[in-house]
Amino acid sequence: MAGKTLYDKLWDAHLVRGNGEGTSIIYIDRHLIHEVTSPQAFEGLKLASRKPWRTGTILAVPDHNVPTIGRDHVQDRISQIQLDTLDQNCAEWGITEFTMNDPRQGIVHIIGPEQGACLPGMTIVCGDSHTSTNGALGALAFGIGTSEVEHVLATQCLVMKKAKNMSVNVRGQLGEGVTAKDMMLGIIRQIGTAGGAGYTIEYSGEAIRALSMEGRMTVCNMTIEAGARAGVIAVDDTTINYIEGRPFAPKGELWEEAVRTWRNLVSDQDATFDKVVYVDAATIEPLVTWGTSPEMVVPIHGRVPDPDEERDTVKREGMRRALTYMGLKPGIPMTEIRLDKIFVGSCTNSRIEDLRAAAHIVRGRKIAPNIVQALVVPGSGLVKRQAEAEGLDKIFIEAGFEWREPGCSMCLGMNPDHLNPGERCASSSNRNFEGRQGYGGRTHLVSPPMAVAAAIAGHFVDVREF
């Protein structure tokens, strides 16, 4: 019998009731909730006179709507209702919630690992597609819709079909100044935004092993942008060292026992994958998206591509529309694209290492006069506190950046932080869809160092030459 992949092991360990090729009942260990996708689920539960199955597995936090400035008064009345609804539902059912002014509040995908609430070997869900972030811990983590949120509340289970196994093996080493974000954009560039559809991706290889936990989280985070619901990375010393001592992580004998079990969370040598992709880390350069899909991406020294050179008609039309929306012409060097706004934040890139890497570039410099706003939004209150202890906030503020309170912020602009029509932004977030950061806004996805280097130059630059 062939060995098991890490995903096979995670799946099998959570099978309540299997059904061969069809749908199975899968047990869920950790349920993260936020204010946007949970209210209708709680309402549904109540309408059907049901109760949550196991409230002790749930961790709630408001993140999408929260203002990143002036938290004593939420200006948007509709946002306030949604935030209040989360507080009420959590209070009613006795669910642990880090409320807006709790120092531990932050983006749900940042605080789960940070608190040790998300652990290797767990199944982790949240009504949010970037739940895939937690796969970096060797957990099976994926986003769900609101009906599924209600299903997990009511049953602690999900009914689903097992995905296929895909291996993305990143060989060799990343070059100097090339980040986990560039690696993931490079993977998406290679396999496309639908490349992972129907699969769970396991990231492996020398370059993945060399990443810190935070870098691995950036990679797993954007798995959904490659079309897969979940991405996983095998447990190693990096994983164990990251978790040890975190508030909700097991302690004492339980910790020893857990670590022994977690060591087995790797794919067997003889495991087989349905699809295998190799990526050469050394060929990856700092990348910048030029269009309205994360696969529309080129190296910093590249140019905006010409749709006329694309043979596939659907793709060609898509490129034309993207160029119109983005206000770009084919052939323009990426380094000549001037920016209006800069955003460093989001569940992809707002952890302490991201802020350190960005601050390292910013130190002693000023943002360019054409940049109308440059935001740094830490991923959590604890990230913010750590950054302040290291003096990073001062580096950003002295350069002309705004230093904000944690939340999803301008990644999707549900709170007051957004792009205005026509504004162009270098963003460390995950989606460059039309209107994502604001109506008519134009998003270019980059790593945090690339975003801040662009803030200083006023246009895109190669951070390696900066």
Partner 1 sequence: MEAFTQLAGIVAPLDRANVDTDTIIPKQYLKSIRRTGFGPNLFDLWRYLDKGEPGQDSSTRRLNPDFILNQPRYRGAQILLARKNFGCGSSREHAVWALLEYGIRAMLAPSVADIFYSNAIKNGFLPIVLDAHTIDRLFKDVEATPGYRLTIDLVPQTVTTPKGEVIHFDVDQALKHQLLHGLDDIDMTLRHADHIRAYEARRRKQAPWLFTDLDG
Q: Which of residues 414-433 bind partner 1 (CB under 8 A)?
A: 414, 421, 431, 433
315 binds partner 1 (CB under 8 A): yes
Binding segment toward partner 1, per CB under 8 A, in 204-212, 268-276, 310-318, 339-347? 310-318
- 47-59 burial, b at 16+ Cβ within 10 Å, e below that, comes to eeeeebeeeebbb
Query: What count of other Cβ atoms lies within 10 Å of the Cβ of residue 226?
Result: 28
What x-and-dash track marks residues 103-132 binding partner 1 by CB under 8 A? -x----------x-x-x-xx----xxx---
DSSP character string of 226-267: GT-SEEE----HHHHHHHTT-TTS--HHHHHHHHHHHTT-S-
Confirm or reject binding of residue 98 to partner 1 (CB under 8 A). Answer: yes
368 binds partner 1 (CB under 8 A): no
State which of positions 59-88 bind partner 1 (CB under 8 A): 59, 64-65, 76, 78-79, 81-82, 85
CB < 8 Å & 24+ apart, contacts of 242-248: 242/113, 242/137, 242/213, 243/116, 243/119, 243/120, 243/137, 245/116, 246/113, 246/114, 246/115, 246/116, 247/115, 247/116, 248/115, 248/116, 248/117
Nearest to 231 by CA among 239, 214, 219: 219
Beta-carbon count within 10 A of 333 CB: 14
**CB-wise, 82 or 359, nearer to partner 1?**
82
Shortest Å, Cβ 341 to partner 1: 17
Which of 9, 10, 11, 37 forms a contact with partner 1 (CB under 8 A)? Answer: 37
Q: Of the ranges 3-11, 45-53, 359-367, 447-455, which one interacts with partner 1 (CB under 8 A)?
A: 45-53
Q: Does 364 bind partner 1 (CB under 8 A)?
A: no
Q: Which of residues 189-208 bind partner 1 (CB under 8 A)?
A: 193-194, 197-198
Shortest spacing between CB 100 and partner 1, in angstroms? 15
d(CA 31, CA 381): 21
Q: Does 160 bind partner 1 (CB under 8 A)?
A: yes
Q: Does 386 bind partner 1 (CB under 8 A)?
A: no
Binding to partner 1 by residue 460, rule CB under 8 A?
no
Which residues, 3 to 22, sit near partner 1 by CB under 8 A? 13, 16-17, 19, 22
Instruction: Please identify, using beta-carbon distances, which residue of 112 and 448 lies nearer to partner 1.
Output: 112
Q: Which stretch binds partner 1 (CB under 8 A): 168-176, 223-231, 268-276, 342-350?
A: 223-231
d(CA 396, CA 251): 37
Residue 50 corresponds to which amino acid? R
Indicate the pairing of strand 23-27 with strand 15-17.
antiparallel
One-letter amino acid identity for 12?
Answer: D
Residue 46 contacts partner 1 per CB under 8 A: no
248 binds partner 1 (CB under 8 A): yes
Across-strand partners of 171? 280
Q: Compare residues 39 and 286 and give the one whose CB is closer to partner 1.
A: 39
Contacts of 420 (CB under 8 A, 6+ apart): 438, 439, 440, 441
